[in-house]
Amino acid sequence: MEKCSGKSVQGGVAAARLRFLRPVGQQTDVPAGTPEQELARLEQALRKAAEQQNALYEQTAAEAGEEVAQVFSIHAMMLEDECFTGPIRDRVRAGESCACAVRASARELAAQFAAMEDEYMRERSADVEDIAQELLAALAGDRPAEAAQAEPFIAAAEDLTPSQTVRLDKKLLRGIVTRGGSSNSHTAILARSLGLPALVQCPGVGPDWDGRMAVLDADEGTLTPDPGPAELAAAREKAERAARQARELEQLRGLPNTTRDGRTVEVYANIGGTDELELASDQDAGGVGLFRSEFLYLHSGDYPTEEEQFAAYRAALEHFAPRRVVVRTCDIGADKTVDYMGLAKEENPALGLRAVRLCLSRPQFFKTQLRALARASAFGSLSVMFPMIISAAEVRRCKELLAECCRELKAEKVPVGPIELGVMIETPAAALCADELAEEVDFFSIGTNDLTQYTCALDRQNAALEPFSDPHHPAVLRLIEMTVQAGHRHGCWVGICGELGADLTLTETFLKMGVDEFSVNPVSILPLRGAIRRSSAR
């Protein structure tokens, strides 16, 4: 039987017809008008495409969370960026049609990104191609055909763009298969956030498979076209079994996260902003274990003001009061940058001026955030944690700046509530000096994504390194256990907020280590709660 294999990025089974999707914006060129006419068409299309990207941001934030939706904010900013639009306008002024100018300029810019050494920057070439397709579609007035399907389907493509992926009808979409892509592609991230079975790097599937019934078994990493009655029945039974398990998990809402031997832990949500508060509540989060405050900066064209930040933090605290909300201070740098900060280009940004290092090098910038957080503390249960800490001296400096802000606010007669302080453990240095750090704070939150990257010296943005990556590497697990033990020696509670927190094969291992809290993507909360209740902590 014909079958193809790929790399699973989200488990599960689906049986449905395949729809092989092609890029949008491939319309036939129309004759170019005068440069003035073409420029007017271009400006109208830029506005339309930007409006659509903003709409896709809102849709994605509601469906999958603000972190996943971030790409559309970037796309909208690209449509206003002279680096992207300037060469297009120059070509139009020289007599080219809008469509030709967009294709040629996007091709050149995408090639520049693709030639860069940094893996994250190379992957931005896909964003250029995506936004170019969206601009071409706006010029032509067409919309992708895949936006409306009549029956359940499995989406297949060379490599789905973020815009294509989000427009798929989620009520009928049963799974995703791409010939290219990686575990860190936008398609993979969205599939995980929606809980859809998905394969990437599956070269056997092609346009000639369009319309064929198929079984996608992402647990096994296979796609089987034209299954026989027995294979189809088995796949549907497996999918129904998974659906029954999901319904059983719904029964856990409101119940404590207690292991079989009587230990109770907290299960919180990771969120990227206030747009995800309802999603976290809907999934029965016990609180927020990671509020990624950097998205306030990434979604702004200039430094967010104290008032803007205060409003966001207050909204989160009031929404979950009296439950805990843990806000991570600004984690800009490395793969998350904004032009208005004027950060210098670095040869190795993952080891550069990022997170708390950036904040401590710009104390007034940092104090704006700390003042906003201190003001918000009066409206709920606030915990603040500092990222990329490698020494107790850094923690003490952060505490000094926060104390300075609190004194200023009290002098201004502004109420300030109690603030619990913590640090992220995401470098080997932090794990190895956890005893010293624990003397300065109330809690630790282990960021397993960066801890794995820095411990194993593997760039997590580099798809070529996936064969060498082992998320269960014994060195990483030992550092996690050391951190838990050190924290408990000094009275700190210890949580996990990285992707390993949602890895159910490690849940019992972490419980036996003594982990007190898990903070995960909202859609992972109920499965994790089920795993905790099936586990023993001894």
In the block, tokens 């009061």 appear at 321
Instruction: Report the length, in residues, of the chain.
Output: 538
Q: Which residues contact 170 (CB under 8 A, 6 or more apart)?
A: 63, 194
Distance of CA 315 to the CA centre of its chain: 21
d(CA 390, CA 437): 9
Which pair of structure tokens corresponds to residue 261? Answer: 């031997």
- 75 is annotated as an active-site residue: no
With beta carbons less than 8 A apart as the criterion, state whether 175 and 216 touch.
yes
Q: Which of 98, 186, 398, 406 is catalytic?
A: 186
DSSP letters, 458-478, are: --TT-GGGGGG--TT-HHHHH
3-state secondary structure of 439: coil
With beta carbons less than 8 A apart as the criterion, state whether 282 and 80 touch.
no
d(CA 522, CA 194): 10
Which pair of structure tokens corresponds to residue 18? Answer: 């395949």
222-225: strand order across its sheet: 4-5, 222-225, 213-217, 13-20, 153-157, 173-178, 198-200, 7-10
With beta carbons less than 8 A apart as the criterion, state whether 266 and 259 touch.
no
Q: Which residues contact 240 (CB under 8 A, 6 or more apart)?
A: none
At residue 196, what is the residue type? L
With beta carbons less than 8 A apart as the criterion, state whether 320 and 288 touch.
yes
Nearest to 488 by CA among 516, 510, 468, 517: 516
Q: Which residues contact 211 (CB under 8 A, 6 or more apart)?
A: 17, 18, 19
With beta carbons less than 8 A apart as the criterion, state whether 438 and 492 touch.
yes
- 497 is annotated as an active-site residue: yes
Measure Cα distances from 510 to 54, 115, 368, 438, 536 in Å: 40, 41, 36, 19, 10
Residue 276 φ/ψ, nearest 5 degrees: -100, 5
Q: Which residues contact 202 (CB under 8 A, 6 or more apart)?
A: 4, 5, 6, 7, 177, 178, 179, 223
Q: Catalytic amino acids? A: 186, 497
